[in-house]
Amino acid sequence: MIVERSTSREWLSNSWLVADRPGGHAVLIDAGAPPEPILRAVRENRLTVTHLLCTHHHVDHVVHADVYRARLSCPKCGHVAERTEFGGLDVEIGDGDTIASGGLTIRALHVPGHTRGQLAFVVGDERVFTGDTLFRGSVGGTRAPGHAGFEDLRRSILEKLMRLSPAMTVHPGHAEDTTIGDEWEANPFIRAWRGIDPVEDRPCLALGRPARLLLRARDYDGGTKCWVRFADGALDIIAGSRVESPSS
């Protein structure tokens, strides 16, 4: 298997090329990073690209989609729940759908939370591309445009992604790779949701509103991500820059 990555300096978002073999078939996963390294790898490996698989509709994951469609004639594929936000899709994908590309078999997992139609893509039994649901040491926020909600995110991670093989490599939508096993053992959010580590539960201002800060942990970009509970009981994952607390 061939796996190549391009990363945006601005957003730290990743675009991926996954191929079965040199001279074979490939898919693209997300289109927010500079396309030149991906297009070069396509040429050098003499690949036929069959699909552009989009984890979700945010601009840092799709801004170059039309470049790939024009240069490689590959259909843009995403979850039906985000058809409007994508501005239309060539192929609509749902939970459990299988995409075949040469010797590749790719299974789509619907993992809502960060967005309603967020998808992860499992390639064989080796790799999962998690978009903005799961990162190395962090998780996706639940206040982005088109978001679902905290309970969706937690369920997507604990009941879908964490049930994959512990040895499976995780290729996130931003920053560096990890494994399912490493995130199960070390991700601060997952440990808190499992009841392994206690939560902080101290007062804060989140999005300018009184709330309780349950957890603050390092995010993929060097900042922090926070798990908060508002006075009405609502839970959210939001950027640490939007949370003020006595020790901030």
What is the pTM assigned to this prediction?
0.95
**Is the pLDDT score of 71 beyond 80?**
yes
Please name which of 233, 226, 186 lies closest in space to residue 207, comparing C-alpha atoms: 226
| H or E segment and range at residue 155 | helix 150-159
Residue 234 contacts residue 202 (beta carbons within 8 Å): no
Give the pLDDT of residue 1.
93
Strands (E), the chain: 2-7, 14-19, 25-29, 48-53, 76-79, 91-93, 98-101, 104-110, 119-123, 127-131, 134-135, 138-139, 169-172, 178-179, 202-206, 209-218, 224-230, 235-239, 243-244
Q: pLDDT tens digits for 97-151?
A: 999 999 999 999 999 999 999 999 999 889 999 999 999 999 999 999 999 999 9
**Is the pLDDT score of 234 beyond 50?**
yes
Distance CA 151, CA 219 (A): 20
Distance CA 71, CA 52 (A): 12
**Is the pLDDT score of 247 beyond 90?**
no
Q: pLDDT tens digits for 168-199?
A: 999 999 999 999 999 999 999 999 999 999 99
- The single-letter DSSP state of residue 174 is B
**Is the pLDDT score of 248 beyond 60?**
no
Residue 26 contacts residue 2 (beta carbons within 8 Å): yes
Amino acid identity at 32:
G
> Can you read off the two tokens belonging to residue 30?
């997300």
Distance CA 30, CA 59 (A): 10
pLDDT band at 245 (very low <50, low <70, confident <90, very high): confident
- The single-letter DSSP state of residue 38 is H
Instruction: Tell me the CA distances in angstroms from 128 to 37, 169, 223, 228, 230, one per residue in order.
Output: 21, 6, 25, 28, 33
Mean pLDDT for 194-218 is 96
